[in-house]
Chains A and B, each alone.
Chain A
Amino acid sequence: MFQLINTLLIGITAGSIYSLMAISIVLVWRSTRVINFAQAGMALLSTYFGYEAIVHFNSFWIALPVAMVGGAGVAALIELVFMRLLVKRSSTGPIAAVAPIIATLGLLGLIKGIISSIWGGADVRLVGPVTNVGYSIGDKTLAFSPLKLLTLCTVVVLMLLLTLLFQKSNIGLSLRASAYSPEIARLSGVKVDFVRTLGWSLAGAAGAVAGIFQTVNGNGAFSPESIEFALLLISGFIAAVIGGLESLVGAVVGGLVLGLVISFVLMYISSSLFFIAPFVILLIILFVRPQGIMGVKAARRA
């Protein structure tokens, strides 16, 4: 019974981080119709910005906003310089459909390489502002700590803010319109280019938060080769697809489902199978419901 509670807690906390990652992927998809495979790489880079902030200012609460701003900045830069050029040059030809995918993959490799060159091998750790030692109930320890509570709260708040922004505000409307029909949006007076960059920036900031909390929730160590990073990479994307790629709520649901499944596999089955679990879930979902849990069966697939 107690193990079950712990497994659920671990699953929900981890799942909330995956949801945040998934949200950033869905944000980019819905505002520019591109799947950004480099999202996790950008999140990792933002985490390193946070690390540098901790080294210089010794405060987690400075590091977090620094990472977010850094993440937003890097994302905006990439959108302005890289993606615009890409769309211009490769909208025709044999690889038109796959060019953005391949390009963002190349970007991921580039970011990983740059990170490894600058910080690689160094002993990089991020310590959270509160302890990660679990709460005690009697003589047992819960797999829930002040740090995990903080993670959950931050992620939930961020999710609510982003969803409100996207669904209920004018900016959100502009974002959605620019992706769906850029010409009409432009005719209606929407600054499409600015809005697209904004979409990327928001996603970059969200990714930064996911990266920071994924790191402090592990044991604080992170690197391009760490398991935590690999999890961020695949789970963010898989959670987004499971949720349907079209809705932020779907991203949240997808992230939680994934987090719980991985947690159960880790605790009850075997720690070496947990890497395959996301893939199996993805296959099952795509087979049964290709549009994702909350997706609409749209004619538009690409």
Chain B
Amino acid sequence: MKAMNRRKLFTVCATIAVASLAVTAIPAQAAEVGVSSSEIKLGMTLPMTGTASPGYNKIPAAVKAYFDYVNANGGINGRKLTLVVKDDQYVPTLAVAKTNELILKDKVMALLAPLGTANNKAVAAVVNPGARGIPTLFVNTGYSGFADKKKYPTTFSILPSYIMEAKIMAEYIKDNFAGKKLGLIYQDDDFGDDALAGFKQAGINFDVKVAYASGSQSGTTAAGWMQKLQAGGAEVVILFGVSSATAAALGTAAVMKFAPQWILGSVGGDATTIKAAGVPAGVLYNAVGASFAPATTDTTDEYVKLFQDIYLKANPDQIFDNNVMVGMNTAFVTAQALKAAGSNPTRKSLIAAIEKSGKNFASAALVPLNYSTTSHVGYNGYWFGKYSPTGDLKPAGGVYTVYTTDSGNGAVVKSTYKRPAMPAKGLPN
């Protein structure tokens, strides 16, 4: 009889398991996934917590602020825009899990601005949104490969690629720091590898290279980085890591009284995040940085004024910084894409809309968008500037000198792009 009890127990456990699995049956979806008559649902994965999160975790609030503004002004073709955010802590395996959740559980129409080179590559390989027709809009990474339409048919870049950035940086170095010893701090994964490839293509050779494992950046480990840079005699150091790594490097260098000429890459160059991490503004003063959007302190710019207004109304106790600026700009471009997708948007029509009209979308950037039926490349250039005594990035000489190039062997040229006027009220027209 004890045997019977045991078998009963097994059966009970089995039944519980099966029952819990069989609980749901999904009602059929009439329209496109993530699109209802009143709502369009988009999903985002990025580090909201964790070592890499400082600075980037302000992006969802920025995007939501703009989406709420659009919703308050009639939405897109009568539908409200909703953003579902999942925290992946900058870990590729978590990014895969959270993206699966967005697709299977939250049933979003498209993935918006997922952050991280390694994360996006893992998602592309494992979840394969391309094969499933799920658009991955305006990925928040500069990995040049994502612009390849054949390999990633539903993915659109927006940020200039790291190769473009490296090439333009190389020109700046050749013009201003020729002959000096160069050092580089980069992340030890695909993000850093792409940067290395870019610098190689641009013909820059480093005297000291320091790689850090993603997630290991801190005051303790940064002491080791500085040690190597000092020992190698680096006079100009490029910081091509995430914001928290840049902040750790600068903070530790200040304590060790090591002060080379710093060049901050676009990924980790947000001044507000660095200062919030305790780096004194004086350390940032005269460092070189780059951006493709207008400087966030430039209140004469109509986009900066509008975005700042919208953001601060929704988040009065926050600071309007570069992460917010770029986030809202991406939201702006996304809203236009969804509008161009038609009154009954589908995933296919969204992709087609960006390919057809994307290059004419309005945006805050001082660089043009380059979408076409053959290319998913977004922005393709940067302007360079220096950080002010208060640690804010300002264009050199007060004038935006923008350079554009490509991710291939094209030359770096001074851009003649004139940014068109902002559409009325900053809404898609």
Contact = CB atoms under 8 A, between A and B. Distances in A.
A287 B49 CA distance: 39
A182 interface: no
A44 B47 CA distance: 22
B299 interface: no
Interface stretch (A24-32, A34-42, A221-229): A221-229
A134 to B, nearest CB: 6
Given A134-B255, A141-B256, A219-B219, A121 B49 contact: yes
B221 A274 contact: yes
A125 B251 CA distance: 13
B221 A227 contact: yes
Given A10-B223, A227-B218, A271-B225, A220 B278 contact: yes
Contact of B248 (A6, A14, A219): A219
Given A121-B57, A123-B276, A221-B277, A228 B257 contact: no
B278 A219 contact: yes
A145 interface: yes
B224 to A, nearest CB: 4
Nearest to B188: A272
Interface in A107-163: 116, 120-121, 123, 125, 127, 132-134, 136, 141, 143, 145
A140 to B, nearest CB: 9
B216 interface: yes
A127 B279 CA distance: 12
A134 B278 contact: no
B257 A271 contact: no
Interface residues of B, number: 35
A219 B257 contact: no
Interface in B264-279: 276-278
Interface in B49-73: 49-51, 53-54, 57
A108 to B, nearest CB: 18
A86 interface: no
Interface in A202-231: 217-221, 225-228, 231
Contact of A3 (B216, B227, B247, B277): B227
A159 to B, nearest CB: 22
Interface string B210-241: 00110011111111110100010000000000
B257 A141 contact: yes
Nearest to B214: A272
A145 B218 contact: no
A271 B49 contact: no
Contacts of A127: 278
Contacts of A83: none
Contacts of A272: 188, 212-213, 216
A184 interface: no
A135 B254 CA distance: 13
A232 to B, nearest CB: 11
Contact of A228 (B188, B212, B218): B218
A274 B252 CA distance: 18
B48 interface: yes
Contacts of B231: 3
A133 B257 CA distance: 7
B218 A121 contact: no
B251 A219 contact: yes
Contact of A231 (B49, B89, B220, B222): B220
B46 to A, nearest CB: 13
A274 B51 CA distance: 17
Indicate the member of B50, B219, B222, B277 with the most A CB atoms within 10 Å. Answer: B219
A125 B278 contact: yes
Given A141-B257, A271-B212, A266 B220 contact: yes
A232 B258 CA distance: 28
A101 B258 CA distance: 45
Nearest to B51: A225
A267 interface: yes
A275 B231 CA distance: 23
12 contacts: A123-B54, A123-B276, A134-B255, A145-B255, A219-B277, A227-B217, A228-B218, A231-B220, A266-B220, A267-B223, A267-B227, A272-B216
Given A141-B258, A219-B255, A220-B219, 5 more contacts: A6-B227, A227-B51, A227-B216, A272-B216, A274-B221
Interface of A: 3, 6, 10, 14, 116, 120-121, 123, 125, 127, 132-134, 136, 141, 143, 145, 217-221, 225-228, 231, 266-267, 270-272, 274-275
* In the complex, the 6 A-B pairs of residues with the closest C-beta atoms, listed nearest first: A219-B219, A218-B219, A227-B218, A271-B224, A272-B213, A141-B257
